[in-house]
Chains A and B, each alone.
Chain A
Amino acid sequence: MLVDFELIERARSGDDGAFNHIVTAYRKRILGTIARLIGRPEDVEDVGQEVFLRLYYSLDQLRTKEVFEPWLYRLTVNAAYDYLRRQRRRPESRMSDLSEQQVMMADASAGTKRNAEESHRVKVRETVQSLLENVSDEDRALLILKEVEGLSLKELEQVYHVNENALKVRLFRARQRVLKAFAAKGEGAVSADVARADAARKAEGDA
């Protein structure tokens, strides 16, 4: 817990200052989770504000203070779903849909000079995002929370209100689907990039 129970209690009773403290304590973590859930850095703050807005108007429904964090994750996942659903209705070309030449032209016209590290990050982000397109929005969130955010099955149980076995089955199926897409995409090429970037990071650290 990043805040104590008393602060949550004060926020519940309408203390806006206490609510501000809670937002300040959690916003970085929540914005990070949102960034990894939606994969669009430009919209992260907007979705983040939606999460805290929902928190503000639902704090009085919180039954026990102990479930505050799972509750906040639940609000985060729901806001991310809503965002992803809206995005599906609004087709937009992404860098991964463009040819290499088009990407180079787009970069040149934007006048950007990405270094190798940054372009690798973009590649990893786009690879993972395209792999996650093979699963439903619900499974995508579940996979991210488990594999990337590192939530335990116990914590996921509290977030989703679903028993551990059902979660395990769902996670296994989603992971299998992603693995299949990973193999089809040429995991070797992606892994080589990953290894190269790791080596570059180590060399940078040594220097």
Chain B
Amino acid sequence: MSGMQGESNDRLDALWAQYRRACPDPEAGPEFMPRLWQRIDARRNETLSLFRRFAQVCVAATVAIALLMAILPELQSNNDSGTYADALAAEPASNYALILAGDL
């Protein structure tokens, strides 16, 4: 049984060797290098255009944030009616007693 297995192994080894000879190392065609560099350049351009798009998105986001930061304090200042002293002065005098008593 092991003898048969050994024979099969030998035949398979012979087949591998035949396969090696049946598929020799091919010569590259004349278009191999130009096409390779075309593919390298295409990938480079793709990466560059992705980077460019990313940069554009970043610039747009920065501008949007800068605008927001400029507008927000403006909006907040419109909501604020004045200083703390002004707010106290606006409080009805009748509330003072309640505040001091801790009921409000």
Contact = CB atoms under 8 A, between A and B. Distances in A.
Interface of A: 20, 23-24, 27-29, 31-32, 35-36, 39, 41, 44-45, 48-50, 52-53, 56-57, 120-122, 124-125, 127-128, 131, 147-148, 175, 178-179, 182-183, 187, 190-191, 194, 197
Nearest to A127: B15
Contacts of B43: 53, 57
Overall SS of chain A's interface: helix
Interface of B: 5, 8-9, 11-16, 18-29, 32-33, 35-36, 39-40, 43
* 10 tightest Cβ-Cβ pairs between the two chains A and B: A32-B25, A121-B22, A124-B22, A147-B16, A128-B19, A36-B23, A49-B36, A28-B25, A124-B18, A191-B11
B19 A41 contact: no
B12 A182 contact: yes
B40 to A, nearest CB: 5
A191 B8 CA distance: 10
18 contacts: A28-B26, A28-B28, A35-B25, A35-B26, A41-B26, A49-B36, A49-B39, A53-B39, A124-B19, A125-B22, A147-B13, A147-B16, A148-B20, A175-B12, A179-B12, A182-B8, A182-B12, A191-B11
Contacts of B26: 28, 31-32, 35, 41, 44
Overall SS of chain B's interface: helix
A133 to B, nearest CB: 14
A50 B36 CA distance: 8
A83 B33 CA distance: 20
A26 B33 CA distance: 13
Nearest to A123: B22
Given A178-B12, A179-B12, A45 B19 contact: no
Contact of A32 (B15, B23, B33): B23
